[in-house]
Amino acid sequence: MAPIRVGLIGLSASAKTAWASTAHLPYLLSPAGRSKFEIVALLNSSVSAARSAIEFYNLPPTTRAYGSPTDLAADPDVDLVVCNTRVDVHERTIEASIEAGKAVFCEWPLAQNREHAAALVSKAEKAGNLNQTIIGLQGRVFPLIENLRKFIASGRIGKVLSSEVRVFGGLNDRTILPESLEYFTRREVGGNIYAIGFAHVFDTVQSVLGEIEKDRETGKAVHGHFQLQRPDVRIRDAKGGISRTVKSDVPDLVLIAGTLPESPTTQKGATLHYRFRRGQPFPGDPNLTWSINGEKGEIRVVSPAAAFLNIGVDDPPITTVLHDFETDKVTPLEWEWADWQKSLPTAARNIGGLYEAFAAAKEGGDVGYPTFASALERHKQMEELISGWSA
């Protein structure tokens, strides 16, 4: 097939955060990416900023530079628009491309809140391209996660009886933020450890075990408890010093409990417990531990140094093991990256998986990637969970 022509938003030579260059660009410029995609345009805050990025990343001189979302949307030679901006800028940078009928890949969260996410979904529905939207919940296509789904479906642990998740992290420090992430202290922006760190793990877990059922009495899917343990957050400047202290209104401790859906692989009433705390764990403890307890055995996923299941980490690696109750033996559950992923930086591997799924769907395959509709459902669940809480 002809390459899918990509317009990148947010690939900057001077970006405060570098997700576009560390997670998207390595795949798009890899042999696997080049065989299916071609970068033809960049959109930044100005045309000159886009031109600087084209030169900085050594992109072809034919790459078009844009400073306006409407100009990018009007380019007939752009098939797929990819958004890597701060979350509260997502809507205004991609809505014109959605209305123009283009395919759009947007990083998670889709928008700063449920209302704005719903507006983007509505625009995609009206344009008839909702199935051509991709949301960056890449944990769903992580080979480790896909392997877990297959293993549970095989019946090796019997029906799932309960599951527990314990996570530390979301940010590298419990009390300090770099200047570039100061907005993580403001819930209204929509980018913070609850909306990003907590949510990525929450989404990935439910992609394996199923969407938590809503309570018939309250209408909520999850019961939660929130706490802001450390409201005073110190801000580190570019020179490494502490420049000021700001007040946060984002919870740094979240505890939830919910009921998993009954299915051929899950017992009726099976419970999910999830505890997420910002900051470092106790020395020697892993950043993430996830157990899936079944009738015949228990699976344990351990990430020693990373809080996220959406990014595969090689050093030290995320491990999965099985405790077989009948034999009382603990054995590894083997999984591996696809050959094309192994040469990429870890941050780019699962992002590449979303691109690969989109390309496969363009060739007539199923929609094997989460869409904006998936994002809206997660936004709804997250906001229902935290509704009524304030710092």
Are 123 and 145 contained in the same domain?
A: no
301's enclosing H/E stretch is strand 297-303
Question: Which whole number is the average pLDDT over 84-91?
Answer: 96
Domain CATH for 16: 3.40.50.720
Cα–Cα distance, 191 to 194 (Å, whole number): 8
Contacts of 294 (CB under 8 A, 6+ apart): 152, 157, 158, 159, 160, 161
Are 90 and 147 contained in the same domain?
A: no
Residue ranges making up the domain that contains 165? 140-336
Residue 379 placed within a domain: no
Are 240 and 313 contained in the same domain?
A: yes
Are 226 and 279 contained in the same domain?
A: yes
Specify whether the CB–CB gap between 205 and 152 falls below 8 A: no
Are 310 and 226 contained in the same domain?
A: yes
Residue 381 placed within a domain: no
Token pair for residue 89? 């800028």
Q: Report in angstroms the alpha-carbon separations of 130 from 77, 101, 105, 120.
A: 20, 9, 11, 10
Specify whether the CB–CB gap between 302 and 286 falls below 8 A: yes
Residue 218 has pLDDT above 80, yes or no: no
Residue 244 placed within a domain: yes
pLDDT digits (tens, 9 = 90+) for 1-58: 789 999 999 998 876 568 999 999 999 999 999 999 999 999 999 999 999 999 999 9
Q: What is the DSSP string of 267-285?
A: EEEEEEEEEEEES--STTS
Beta bridge partners of 163: 272, 292
Cα–Cα distance, 169 to 304 (Å, whole number): 11
Residue 172 placed within a domain: yes
Residue 292 is given by DSSP the state E
Residue 370 has a pLDDT of 98
Residue 220 has a pLDDT of 67
Contacts of 388 (CB under 8 A, 6+ apart): none
Token pair 């989404």 is found at: 203
Cα–Cα distance, 284 to 291 (Å, whole number): 18
Residue 235 is given by DSSP the state E
pLDDT digits (tens, 9 = 90+) for 163-210: 999 999 988 899 999 999 999 999 999 999 999 999 999 999 999 999
Cα–Cα distance, 175 to 193 (Å, whole number): 13
Kindly report the backbone phi and psi dihedral angles of residue 18, in degrees, each rounded to the nearest multiple of 5, phi listed first: -125, 35
Residue 377 placed within a domain: no
Cα–Cα distance, 139 to 158 (Å, whole number): 24
Are 296 and 258 contained in the same domain?
A: yes
Question: Which whole number is the average pLDDT over 341-356?
Answer: 96
Residue 309 has a pLDDT of 84
- For residue 94, the Cα-to-chain-centroid distance in whole angstroms is 18
Are 176 and 50 contained in the same domain?
A: no
Domain count, the chain: 2
Are 325 and 354 contained in the same domain?
A: no
Residue 20 is given by DSSP the state I
Are 8 and 25 contained in the same domain?
A: yes
Cα–Cα distance, 152 to 65 (Å, whole number): 48
Are 89 and 159 contained in the same domain?
A: no
41's enclosing H/E stretch is strand 37-43
Token pair for residue 148? 């877990």
Are 26 and 108 contained in the same domain?
A: yes
Token pair for residue 290? 């996830």
- With a pLDDT cut of 90, the percent of the chain lying above it is 88
Residue 170 is given by DSSP the state S
For the chain, what is the mean pLDDT?
95
pLDDT digits (tens, 9 = 90+) for 363-389: 988 899 999 999 999 999 999 999 989
Return the exposure string of 295-309: e unless at least 16 CB atoms fall within 10 Å of the residue's CB, then b: eebbbbbbbbebbbb
Residue 375 placed within a domain: no
Residue 18 placed within a domain: yes
Are 31 and 53 contained in the same domain?
A: yes
Domain CATH for 175: 3.30.360.10
Residue 386 placed within a domain: no
Cα–Cα distance, 190 to 203 (Å, whole number): 17
Residue 351 has pLDDT above 90, yes or no: yes
